[in-house]
Chains A and B, each alone.
Chain A
């Protein structure tokens, strides 16, 4: 019995992994309606984002600001 089970062991161990397979987990292109909703946007309020980024850039400009190259006095 042991001899019979041993070759089958990797197969048995691998079976649950099938559930993680690409085809089963992936959200299909036609199922992306909910992901396309405005509520899923990274920034829901563009003005708020712009203001926050401006404040961050002004404060942290010496450090490099919001991803912009170089430093500065932060007086823009």
Chain B
């Protein structure tokens, strides 16, 4: 197993503390490590220096702020390894950047679950995580790990959180009763023409159109009806948003009164006291996010960081900060009341109440449907 400098020194300290190592040996080994670092050839020093940084790319906004404050900063304070961060509004952005960069430039991605996992695997960018280096994986929900393992038995990603894309509505305009009664059809209600929003994303649009036409989003039989419904929403829409920040801006400024929305972002608005309601209609779109380690990354350091992030104390703090439930199994780890109250939280740990996209079905249709959605979104 490859060990990081931090881990090595921690092990030495622990062995010395346990009395497994004499003081003389401990000082000797520590001095040797220091001397080795000092007399290395320049290229070795550069290599070591590179491993003192880990690159992370995520969704930005309140989600990344929470991860940075509650996981990265404590991790850097503990290990000395800096987490260099980037953001994206759409995960395809990062895929595009990776195509034009060299292996190792991008290392850990806060990725959108198995749908995207397939894309990385198809492009040959997946790594192989040594799960023995992430002991906290034992607390992660099996129901979340298994879909990844079906694609690659040796994992390149570790599930980290989950949520839903439900329907957010302005409670000063739409009552909870009306929202519940209309469900997915609220997005195509002519009554709210010009005040409807939606995520500018093919999967979300097709998913909600399938629900509105009474179809199973993972087994659509009448695609024409789905596209017709997508057009209906488009014609009523004021704006299709493309980032969480834009979604929050549109809702708080009253530009839109109903939209599909990410559960965590809505929870953040509700905590700010905004008059925003949230509804997960039957078959609401559930998704999970994972920490994906890309090929060419410093594996030991990435594994160490992910293990730190999965530590129950860290994971719970991040979950409360970003308003998405963690991937920790609630039957193994005691979660807080705040997490239990989050939208989409599954207390059983079985994830059976949530409807996830079937990655194979969606991957088969993704190219054609994305193209068609792009056209419809522009008036076709």
Same complex for A and B? Answer no
Contact surface of A with B, Cβ cutoff 8 Å: none
Contact surface of B with A, Cβ cutoff 8 Å: none
